[in-house]
């Protein structure tokens, strides 16, 4: 087995290679105009006093004094921490199943990718129609004779059930995102590696753990980053299923913006989401660092 | 049939059923006549089917036009996003240069800000560029929303293509660009397809920017989501509208699914 | 390689097409935005009936854009900030106009009002015109009005307290009703729109507070207010626990999850339209200090940057014509703002609604409350103070006086920084201060 390298050899000390900068420039300039500039404006909004125009931390203070703030932080982290490992496991399972190329794997892949076509609002509505008191779950349970009258699943008296419903909907909808990335990543792993492992008598579980997963690291890292960033911005599903009983950071940002009409505090929430996402992404980039050389 | 085969089939059937069940319920509900939707206990299989709700949407001229607009915007977004992100991804993976990690984080950071808060500044930018209420303007904004993830996905795919292959092509007399086009790109195709799928989905479902940036030339979500999926709409509309919003994506996923799986594996000797 | 070339060519074609589509033919056309008529059937009615007749009569095409409050306001703000306007006429709730006026979005409508008055074919209810004046200008021309009522299933009436008249319902009656239903069926069948975009806040500050304390702001933490909150806690005990999700009550009513609901007339009407024989509409309950209710006013205004103000004025004239007001009532259940239009009698589900509205407005103990004014850009912070109080007191069970004191401080700060007067029925003190 030979070494795999990703990078071109280091340039000589005296020459500066402009190529990478040129390649990156279009994307960067584009983002600077369309996103960075409005983002800078929004960040400035979160730190300025609307009446005097001077710097102030008042908006962030107001944020922390809001009764919804700490629950929002807690629930955002909780939902993310529960849903993402589940999705990772499920997406990996689906990707591996597809990878075996069993007859019908194409259809299977397509079916599992279907939730991609739904926005988080649509997914929330679909599961709402299942869980609501006059919904499909109660109809089925009643038809099977398991209950006599409908059960109120989505009730403020059972916040854990609300959380469960949200996690379930999220796992159902967003696993496809992770799956698509992992499927693509799996196909880059040369078959020889797996075959060689089998020749040496490795069992499927060992092949998975010692061969496939390490080689899948770039895709895993990508999938985790994508999924986490999106998870911190989730709110339509939560609002549909739980109203504001389960506050989440992105939801609070939305309500402060659209309902309370306070763009300053909304921007403060947005900055918070930015910092949180940035911190977690940095952790991912560090711990799941792709080795420059991987030896089989 | 071996036990392993049986296990594979069992697992995939269970998972596929879990994914399909809610969608099937919505399809059923969308085809159920209004009166039956309000009955309790709700029958799973309605007494009769009606296409009334769905036809309502098909018959609205604006809806078909909006459907086309969504396809157009998504297509443009894919082309632009890939065109801008692929070179950047290549640079991030194949070269070590100063500011590389900061750039990676910076590009991702643009995705970490909730778009709702950015909607007014974005609208102002577009108005000033004279692109307000054009599909091109929407596509531009969608592109900016897609670039971070596309860069990330494409970069991870390029990282999976061994540099030796390009090196071999270089020694045989190809230029860097040719090596990229002839060697790396075909191998990276499933990854690019994944990125394209991703971008398509993002653009298709994007509603905040699309709503505020258009008046007349609306995409399908901008046109329908607020009126059909909001709680104010009657139940039968929500189901029919929901199904109507999903169907085009279902069809398009059907068309591009081939590209998610290559027919050959990568072998290195 | 060829595939890539093909892709590039297709991209360029698509780009060209998508930019070209932005240019429309120069026929006389105006742009009319609103946050009303968002449900899809109302939109279709607005385009194909209401505005189509205008186009038939005048030859002016109307581009009608309706969306929820968030994007609706954002769009107007974006145009002002960019200095370029495409929107001519805009129609929205009089509670949103303070925000628009504060940002310079709309122009003074006094001149248009004068033109309308000179036609001598319509007058407007005086209190509606009074509500249209803010920051020294007339912010809008009254267009239509609505209110909030109680709608109930006819079958649920049998649980109404014996010997009491539903049309003269008191808050105690309502509580008893809910308790009777609970005892008989084991379920909580009262419903309120406590969802994030539900209008429950209006119930709290415009209905419950004045009915129990005679004021919206000043007696916020008084002894009567404490009694009110104790009552609301008990009422929540017979309210459907999914109410914190509800935003439009017609759906739970039709599904049967809720049997007695309070909500905005437009959010109840679809249920009445679907099954007119199944529902009754009752006036809102009366408390110790009277039967307080809110009137929702929707108004029309020309934007400051309107490209076609004259054509826009013609649209406003058409929409406020008495015959059009009658058409609007029949179409979407929003009530007229002119006495000349109020004489027509509707049928079907609309009649059920109109009876309830008349009963509420005509009740001997009726008291009108009005939405808070003068809060400018911070108008959106008023209602959450009340809804948060509800959440802390009724759902989380915190001590009542403590919560009221904390929320009263927020009210005080809000009114102090905006220097706004108290809303009726409070005395017009400026700045308003809770006692």
Find, among C383, C378, C376, C418, the residue nearest to C105 by Cα: C376
Residue-range definition of the domain harbouring residue B176: 56-234
Confidence band for C282, pLDDT divided at 50, 70 and 90: very high
Q: Residue C256 is nearest to which of A134, A155, A239, comparing CB atoms?
A: A134
- The answer to whether the CB of C113 falls within 8 A of the CB of C138 is yes
Name the band, by pLDDT with cuts 50, 70 and 90, for residue B267.
very low
B218: closest CA among B23, B76, B73, B109? Answer: B73
Query: Which position has the token pair 């340039």?
Result: A11
Give the closest of C194, C241, C380 to A155, CB-based: C241
Whether C409 contacts chain A with CB within 8 A: no
Closest CA to B224 of C314, A188, C43: C43
| Number of cross-chain residue pairs from A and B with Cβ atoms under 8 Å apart | 300
What is the DSSP code string of C75-108?
HHHHHHHHT-----EEEEETTTHHHHHHTT-B--
What are the boundaries of each domain within chain A? 66-294
Q: What is the pLDDT of residue C200?
A: 95
B250 located within any domain: no
| Strand C61-66, strand C29-34: pairing | parallel
Contact at CB, B120 and C81, closer than 8 angstroms: yes
Mean pLDDT (chain B) is 84
Does position B158 have pLDDT exceeding 80, yes or no? yes
Is the backbone peptide bond immediately before A171 cis, with ω within 30 degrees of 0?
no
- Confirm if C79 and C85 have CB atoms less than 8 A apart: yes
Closest by CA to B86, choosing from B177, B162, B170, B164, is: B177
Mutate to test the interface with C, among B41, B80, B225, B227 (most CBs of C within 10 A): B227
H or E element, residue C261: strand C260-264
C7, pLDDT greater than 80: no
Rounded Cα gap, residues C90 and C80, in angstroms: 14
Give the residue with greater pLDDT, C24 vs A27: A27
Find the helix or strand (DSSP H, E) in which C7 lies.
helix C2-20
Classify residue A48 by its DSSP letter: B
Can you tell me the distance from the alpha carbon of A6 to that of B104, in angstroms, rounded to the nearest whole number?
A: 16
Does residue B132 fall inside a structural domain? yes
Give the Cα separation of A259 and A33 in Å (integer).
28
Q: How far apart are CA C144 and CA C93, in angstroms?
A: 9
CB contact under 8 A, A134 and C194: no
Q: How many Å apart are CA A229 and CA A174, to the nearest integer?
A: 12
Closest by CA position to A49, among listed A207, A265, A255: A265
Chain B: give the shortest CA distance to residue C247, in Å: 7
Residue A207: the pLDDT is: 75
Query: Quick check: C125 pLDDT over 50?
Result: yes
Enter the tokens of residue C251.
């759906």
CA distance A268 to A246: 20
Residues 116-155, chain B: which have Cβ within 8 Å of A?
A: 116-118, 120-122, 125, 140-141, 143-145, 147-149, 151-153, 155
Going by pLDDT thresholds of 50, 70 and 90, the confidence category of residue A5 is low
Residues found in chain A = 296
Q: What does DSSP say about strands C260-264 and C190-191: parallel, antiparallel, or unpaired? A: parallel
Q: Which of B164, B139, B154 is nearest to B214 (CA)?
A: B139
Tell me whether A142 touches chain B (CB under 8 Å).
Answer: yes
In tens, the pLDDT along A218-262 reads: 888 889 999 999 999 998 899 989 988 899 999 999 888 888 888
The reported pLDDT for the residue numbered B197 is 85
CATH number at residue B177: 1.10.3720.10
Distance CA A208, CA A204 (A): 6
Pick left, alpha or beta for residue A5 (phi over 0 → left; psi -120 to 50 → alpha; otherwise beta): beta
Give mean pLDDT, residues A102-122: 87
Candidate from C71, C77, C84 with C-beta closest to B211:
C71
Give the residue from A235, A261, A265, A266 with the most C CB atoms within 10 Å of its CB, the best one to mutate: A261
Nearest-CA distance from B249 to chain A in Å?
Answer: 5
Contact C75 B123 (CB under 8 A): yes
DSSP readout, C326-337? HHHHHHH-PBPS
Each as own residue / partner, the long-range contacts of residues A49-53 (CB below 8 Å, 24 or more positions apart, any chain) are A50/A264
Sign of the Cα pseudo-torsion (A49, A54, A56, A60, in order): positive
Q: Is C224 on the interface with B (CB under 8 A)?
A: no
User: A66-294: which CATH number, 3.20.20.70, 1.10.3720.10, 1.20.140.160, 3.40.50.2000?
Assistant: 1.10.3720.10
Sign of torsion, CA C91 C93 C94 C98? negative
C12 CB contacts (<8 Å, ≥6 apart)? none
With a cut of 70, say whether residue B130 has pLDDT above it: yes
Task: Check CB contact of B215 with chain C, cutoff 8 Å.
Answer: yes
SS3 A1: coil
Chain B contact for C187, CB < 8 A?
Answer: no
Place of tokens 């910076």: B106
| Contact yes or no for B201 and A93 at CB 8 A | no
Percentage, residues of chain A above pLDDT 70: 92
Give me the residue label for tokens 């991030």.
Answer: B92
CB neighbour list of residue A103: distance below 8 Å, 6 or more residues apart: none
Exposure on the CB side of residue C85, measured as CA atoms within 13 A: 23
Contact, A36 vs B112, CB < 8 A?
no
User: Is-contact B218 B132, C-beta < 8 A?
Assistant: no
User: Which pTM does this prediction carry?
Assistant: 0.86
Residue-wise pLDDT tens digits, A143-197: 888 888 888 888 888 889 999 999 999 999 999 989 988 988 888 787 777 778 7
Q: Is the ipTM of this complex over 0.90?
A: no
> C123: distance to nearest CA of chain B, Å?
32
- Decide if A23 and B87 are in contact by the 8 Å CB cutoff: yes
Asked if A111 and B20 touch (Cβ cutoff 8 Å), the reply is yes
C291-329 burial: b if 16+ Cβ within 10 Å, else e = bbbbbbbbbbbbbbbbebbebbbbbbbbbbbbebbbbbb
CA proximity to A239, closest of A140, A127, A81: A127
- Pairing relationship of beta strands C133-134 and C137-138 according to DSSP bridges: antiparallel
As for how many domains chain B has, the answer is: 1
Residue C332 has pLDDT above 80, yes or no: yes
Tokens matching residue B239: 């189901």
The structure tokens 């584009």 sit at: A30
Dihedral (CA of B15, B20, B22, B24) sign = negative
Residues 6+ away with beta carbon under 8 Å from B157: A184, A185, A188, B188, B190, B191, B192, B194, B195
SS3 A205: helix
Q: How far is CA C119 from the centre of its chain?
A: 29
Nearest residue to C147 (alpha-carbon basis) of C34, C298, C27: C298
**CA-to-CA dists, residue B120 to B210, C180, C362, angstroms:** 12, 51, 44
Cα separation, A95 vs A186, whole angstroms = 8
Domains and CATH numbers, chain C: 28-146+296-350 (3.40.190.10)
Contacting partners of chain C (3+ CB pairs under 8 A) = A, B
Helix (H, G, I), strand (E, B) or coil at B113: coil
Per residue in B79-118, pLDDT (tens digit) is 999 999 999 999 988 888 888 888 888 898 898 988 888 8
Token pair, residue C274, equals 């679907």
Characterize the bridge pairing of strands C29-34 and C366-369.
unpaired
The tokens for C204 are 């709290």
pLDDT of res. B263 = 44
């Amino acid at each position: 087995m030979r070494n795999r390298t990703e990078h071109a050899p280091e340039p000589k000390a005296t020459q500066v290679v402009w190529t990478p900068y040129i390649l990156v420039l279009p994307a960067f300039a584009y983002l600077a105009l369309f996103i960075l500039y409005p983002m800078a404006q929004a960040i400035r909004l979160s730190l300025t006093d609307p009446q005097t125009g001077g710097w102030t931390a008042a908006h962030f203070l107001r944020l922390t004094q809001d009764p919804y703030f700490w629950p929002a932080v807690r629930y955002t982290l909780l939902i993310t921490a529960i849903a993402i490992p589940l999705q990772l496991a499920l997406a990996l399972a689906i990707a591996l199943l597809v990878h075996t190329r069993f007859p019908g794997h194409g259809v299977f892949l397509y079916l599992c990718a279907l939730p991609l076509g739904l926005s988080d609002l649509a997914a929330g509505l679909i599961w709402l129609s299942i869980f609501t008191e006059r919904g499909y779950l109660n109809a089925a349970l009643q038809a099977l004779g398991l209950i006599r009258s409908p059960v109120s699943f989505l009730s403020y008296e059972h916040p854990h059930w609300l959380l469960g419903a949200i996690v379930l909907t999220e796992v159902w909808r967003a696993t496809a995102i992770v799956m698509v990335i992992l499927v693509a990543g799996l196909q880059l792993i040369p078959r020889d590696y797996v075959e060689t492992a089998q020749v040496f008598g490795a069992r499927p579980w060992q092949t998975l753990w010692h061969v496939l997963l390490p080689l899948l690291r770039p895709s895993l890292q990508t999938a985790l980053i994508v999924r986490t960033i999106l998870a911190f911005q989730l709110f339509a599903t939560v609002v549909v299923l739980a109203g504001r009983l389960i506050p989440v950071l992105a939801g609070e940002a939305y309500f402060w913006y659209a309902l309370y009409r306070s763009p300053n505090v909304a921007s403060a929430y947005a900055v918070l989401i930015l910092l949180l996402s940035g911190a977690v992404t940095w952790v991912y980039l560090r711990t799941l660092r792709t080795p420059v050389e991987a030896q089989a | 049939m071996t036990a392993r085969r049986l296990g594979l089939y069992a697992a995939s059937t269970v998972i596929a059923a879990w994914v399909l069940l809610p969608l099937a319920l919505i399809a059923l509900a969308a085809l159920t006549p209004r009166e039956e939707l309000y009955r309790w206990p709700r029958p799973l299989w309605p007494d009769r089917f009606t296409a009334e709700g769905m036809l309502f949407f098909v018959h609205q001229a604006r809806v078909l036009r909006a459907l086309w607009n969504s396809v157009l915007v998504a297509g443009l977004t894919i082309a632009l996003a890939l065109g801008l992100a692929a070179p950047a991804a290549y640079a991030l993976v194949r070269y070590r240069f100063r500011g590389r990690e900061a750039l990676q984080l910076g590009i991702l950071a643009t995705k970490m800000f909730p778009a709702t808060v950015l909607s007014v500044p974005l609208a102002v930018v577009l108005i000033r560029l004279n692109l307000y209420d054009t599909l091109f303007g929407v596509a531009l904004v969608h592109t900016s929303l897609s670039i971070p993830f596309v860069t990330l996905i494409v970069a991870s795919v390029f990282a999976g293509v061994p540099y030796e292959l390009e090196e071999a092509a270089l020694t045989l007399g190809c230029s860097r660009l040719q090596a990229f086009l002839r060697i790396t790109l075909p191998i990276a195709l499933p990854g690019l397809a994944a990125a394209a799928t991703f971008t398509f989905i993002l653009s298709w479902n994007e509603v905040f920017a699309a709503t505020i940036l258009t008046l007349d030339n609306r995409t399908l979500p901008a046109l329908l989501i607020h009126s059909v999926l909001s709680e104010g709409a009657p139940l039968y509309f929500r189901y029919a509208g929901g199904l109507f919003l999903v169907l085009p994506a279902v069809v398009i996923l059907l068309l591009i699914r081939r590209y998610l799986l290559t027919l050959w594996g990568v072998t290195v000797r | 390689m060829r595939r890539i070339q093909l892709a590039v060519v297709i991209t360029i074609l698509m780009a060209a097409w998508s930019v070209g589509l932005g240019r429309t033919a120069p026929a006389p056309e105006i742009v009319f935005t609103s946050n009303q008529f968002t449900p899809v059937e109302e939109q279709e009615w607005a385009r194909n009936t209401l505005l189509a007749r205008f186009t038939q009569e005048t030859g002016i095409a109307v581009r009608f854009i309706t969306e929820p409050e968030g994007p609706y306001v954002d769009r107007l703000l974006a145009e002002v900030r960019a200095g370029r306007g495409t929107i001519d006429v805009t129609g929205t709730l009089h509670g949103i106009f303070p925000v628009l006026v504060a940002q310079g979005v709309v122009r003074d409508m006094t001149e248009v009002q004068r033109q309308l008055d000179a036609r001598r074919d319509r007058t407007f209810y005086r209190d509606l015109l009074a509500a249209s004046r803010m920051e020294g200008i007339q912010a809008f021309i009254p267009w239509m009005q609505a209110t909030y009522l109680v709608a109930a299933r006819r079958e649920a009436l049998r649980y109404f307290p014996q010997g009491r008249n539903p049309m003269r319902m008191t808050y105690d009656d309502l509580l008893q009703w809910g308790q009777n239903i609970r005892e008989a069926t084991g379920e909580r069948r009262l419903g309120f729109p406590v969802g994030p975009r539900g209008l429950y806040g209006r119930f709290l500050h415009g209905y419950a507070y004045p009915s129990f304390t005679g004021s919206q702001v000043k007696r916020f933490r008084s002894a009567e207010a404490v009694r009110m909150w104790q009552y609301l806690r008990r009422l929540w005990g017979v309210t459907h626990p999914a109410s914190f999700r509800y935003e439009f009550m017609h759906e739970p009513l039709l599904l049967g999850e809720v049997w007695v609901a309070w909500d905005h007339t437009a959010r109840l009407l679809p249920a009445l339209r679907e099954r007119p024989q199944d529902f009754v509409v009752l006036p809102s309950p009366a408390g110790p200090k009277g039967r307080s209710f809110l009137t929702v006013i929707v108004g029309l205004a020309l934007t400051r940057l309107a490209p076609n103000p004259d054509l826009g004025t013609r649209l406003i004239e058409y929409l406020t014509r008495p015959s059009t007001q009658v058409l609007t009532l029949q179409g979407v259940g929003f009530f007229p703002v002119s006495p000349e239009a109020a004489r027509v009698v509707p049928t079907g589900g609309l009649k059920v609604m109109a009876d309830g509205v008349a009963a509420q407005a005509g009740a001997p103990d009726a008291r009108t409350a009005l939405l808070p004014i003068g809060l400018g850009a911070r108008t959106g912070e008023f209602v959450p103070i009340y809804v948060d109080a509800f959440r802390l007191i009724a759902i989380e069970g915190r001590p009542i006086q403590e919560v009221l004191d904390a929320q009263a401080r927020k009210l005080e700060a809000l009114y102090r920084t905006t220097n706004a007067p108290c809303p009726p029925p409070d005395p017009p003190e400026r700045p308003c201060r809770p006692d």
